[in-house]
Chain A
Amino acid sequence: MAAIKHSDAILLAALALPGVALAENPPEQASLSVSYLDYRDWQQNLDRIGVRSPSVELVLPLAGKWAVRGALVSDTISGASTRYHTAVSGASHFKEKRNAGDLSITRYFARASLTVDAGRSGENDYVSRFASVRGTVSSADNNTTWLAGIGVANDTINPVNLIVENERKHSTELMAGVTQVLTQRDLAQAVLTHVRGRGYFSMPYKYVDQRPREHDQDTILLRWNHAFGQHGVASRASYRYYRDSYGVRAHTWQEEVVTPLSNGWTLTPLARVYSQSAADFYFDPVYDRRLGPPFPPGFSFSDQRPRTADPRLAAFGALSLGLKVEKEIGRNASIDLRYERYRQRGAWRLFGTGSPGLLDFEARSIVLGLTVRW
């Protein structure tokens, strides 16, 4: 028994030596993944939005040092448009389609990689073009990896109600982070992201939605992966802090436990806790006595101050629970099914009170995926 423990100790100590593990590698095999997302949300037994979204992703290694990745996704969104305040009824029904695709190329160097990505996403009233460059550099012992990236997106907004025409939105994203191997069982990552947005951020299909044309966002993401000794069980914990120039402050805690079982099965339960404060210009569902909903008290049509009734900018808390079941089929294929349930309540906001008058909001998503490698 002692010999078993001692021999494990030797291997673990060896794995802790700097630079003996094989570095980040280009993918060795080509892979094709297809998946199908079915998303649905509702409030008080009223179905709101449904999304059906097939997607396909292809990864091709080239010449040992390159990888090309291409992805296509097509969303069909149907249901009632977002209501102003939940007290207002009469949401109109709609059905839209969004198609998006992107192509990225990665060049792998000794201890470094560089990825260039570009893509386009289009709906009948909204077209987005985006591109990014990101790189990684690892230390000589491969225990530390720095990452940095820059991305730009240019959006054109042409709502069918012609409330605005050819509006533009431009965002620039800067990202920097570090991944550090702490012990042979622990890996930590910190990533800072700053997005500078300028342009049209309002919701064109809502009355009384005027948002500042400058929107800056900062995010801190901290991740900690821990491998437990036996059977490949691993914990993936993360915390994300978000703040933006609209005054929203949000916290997200997430925990996943990857649990490999026998015969190629893996179960991964997930829990996520979310809380956010309201935007400075969000107004509670109290309406102008003269004009009625959706107009806030004292509203004047010439008033250009920012204001919104979008519940996504209200103060609330949310809880998600999920489970992913994965099965390896032979050596070169796997199938997975993910189910996630989301509940949002005004009263669940942490570190403060939630916005009054918010209707509870619930959603669920199911993703079925298949990956084949060759």
Chain B
Amino acid sequence: MVTQPVYAVRFAAMASDCEVMLPAPDRAAAERLARCAIDEVRRIETKYSRYRPDSIVSRIGAAAGREWVALDAETAGLLGYADALFQSSGGRFDITSGVLRRAWDFRAARVPDDAELAPLLELIGWDQVQRRPDAVRLPRAGMELDFGGFGKEYAADRAAAMLAAQGVRHGYVNLGGDLRALGPQPDGSPWRIGIQDPRDADGIIASLPLASGALATSGDYERFMEVDGQRHCHILDPRTGRSCGHWRSVSVLAPLTVAAGSYTTIAMLKGEAGLDFLDGCGLAYLAIDRHGQVFKREAD
């Protein structure tokens, strides 16, 4: 069988550079095939956008402290996943912690003080969110839900499922460094995915093979500020409101992107204990600590 050339179809979504890599007879065919995946990513971006007043996330936030908001099956499923993350991370992965954005302005490069954080911490607490199978209610005005912690990863999985349903057997979906493979390269060999050097935007610190499953990376270099020589990144501990500082970056290989991304975020949030957590997962990972030391594990 003659193998087809591989095309990268690039697009921007979810504030990231994204691409669909897949074999096709020609570029036009590749773009036609990729269309369903791009549409799916855009659909999820729109549906769960914080910036659109009509999004489900905005409507739940607007009803906080007041009424219940009815849920569609997909959103109910994502809230179920958020609950599993909260329970499994000892409360560190909390989708009500998005309110901390109100104090952390990374463009202004100013670290909020305790007085600023205290009232926001009052609005955090997934365990206080009232849930029914088909509805949700935030108990206090000012609370909000934020699907940013796994929305991009979920979109990568959904987009890949769309392509697989069209018969795509080789390639991957890459949403800003969160990847879901559809299968190996057409010759059967795995894709080599470079891991960005957390201190050099153009550098690659390692590469990992990916033939099936997913790869996700969290890093302290995505959004951060440096104040008085200390780096503060966008991954914030919902219990303190403070940035986590132990890891520069954590990459995990897992069957699904949404799971891989959750492992990386929880490992970042757990600090030094994140390494034991990753070892306990039994998955392949690559972690770089704040001194630049690399910790690596192959899959079981």
Contacts and interface: CB of A to CB of B under 8 A. Distances in A.
A125 B228 CA distance: 95
Given A3-B277, A14-B258, A111-B165, A20 B84 contact: no
Name A's interface SS: loop
B247 interface: no
Given A10-B84, A18-B74, A23 B165 contact: yes
12 contacts: A3-B276, A3-B280, A3-B281, A6-B88, A6-B89, A7-B263, A17-B258, A19-B74, A20-B154, A22-B182, A64-B167, A110-B162
Interface string B153-164: 010011011101
A287 B109 CA distance: 103
Contacts of A88: none
B130 interface: no
Contacts of A1: 280
Nearest to A140: B74
A194 to B, nearest CB: 31
Name, among B73, B88, B280, B283, the residue most crowded by chain A CB atoms within 10 Å (CB to CB).
Answer: B88
B85 interface: yes
B161 A10 contact: no
Contact of B81 (A6, A14, A24, A25): A14
Nearest to A63: B167
A18 B154 CA distance: 10
Interface in A1-29: 1-4, 6-7, 9-26, 28
State which size class the interface on A falls in: 20 to 34
A280 interface: no
A180 interface: no
A27 to B, nearest CB: 11
Contact of A13 (B84, B157, B169, B277): B84
B167 A18 contact: no
Interface string A18-44: 111111111010000000000000000
B190 to A, nearest CB: 15
B168 interface: yes
B282 A20 contact: no
A28 B164 CA distance: 11
A14 B262 contact: yes
Contact of B166 (A7, A18, A28, A110): A110
Contact of B161 (A6, A7, A19, A65): A19
B158 A20 contact: yes
B12 interface: no
Interface residues of B, number: 41
Interface of A: 1-4, 6-7, 9-26, 28, 64-65, 108-111, 141-142
A141 B84 contact: no
Contacts of B157: 17, 19-20
A32 to B, nearest CB: 17
A25 B282 CA distance: 28
A229 to B, nearest CB: 14
A1 to B, nearest CB: 8
B133 interface: no
B30 interface: no
Contacts of A12: 84
A20 B166 CA distance: 15
A328 to B, nearest CB: 18
B78 interface: yes
Contacts of A14: 81, 256, 258-259, 262
B266 to A, nearest CB: 8
B255 interface: yes
B161 A11 contact: no
Nearest to A112: B165
B254 interface: yes
In the complex, the 4 A-B pairs of residues with the closest C-beta atoms, listed nearest first: A3-B280, A13-B84, A64-B167, A20-B157
